[in-house]
Amino acid sequence: MDFHDALAYAKEQNRLLTKRYGLEEDRMRILAQTVKLSEEVGELANEVLASQGLQRHEKLAATEKGNVAKEMADVVFVTMLLADTFGVDLEEALSEKIETIKIRRA
Ligand SMILES: [Mg+2]
């Protein structure tokens, strides 16, 4: 699946999740998705810490190899949902960001 296809899938899921959670009001959906993004970033941080042996033994026992990648995907996917809600073209925004970095590094 390429980035464009992933964005299209996120757009479709955003429509379904909006109905499931009764988040038809943009403002509420934006807030809910921002909180969800924070949750996913926290989960990624936990997995990164665990992967480096920097968590308590109880938490380390519950971690599996590959969870860092799964949590990275969660962060990207929720960002795609939020971008769709905002009407942000994430592909274009990412492309512009990369160009900005290239110019800065030149
Ligand atoms: Mg997660």
Tell me the C-alpha distance between 15 and 29, whole Å. Answer: 11
CA atoms within 13 A on the CB side of 36: 18
Q: How far is the CA of 33 from the centre of ligand 1 (A)?
A: 13
Q: How far is the CA of 74 from the centre of ligand 1 (A)?
A: 5
Residue ranges per structural domain of the chain: 3-105
pTM, two decimal places: 0.91
The CATH architecture that domain 3-105 belongs to is Orthogonal Bundle (1.10)
| pLDDT confidence of residue 65 | 73
pLDDT at 64 over 80: no
- Tokens describing residue 33: 């998705």
| pLDDT confidence of residue 23 | 97
pLDDT at 29 over 90: yes
Tell me the C-alpha distance between 70 and 75, whole Å. Answer: 9
Comparing 18-27, 46-55, 91-100, the range with the smallest average pLDDT is 46-55
Q: How far is the CA of 90 from the centre of ligand 1 (A)?
A: 21
What is the CA 2 to chain-centroid distance, rounded? 16
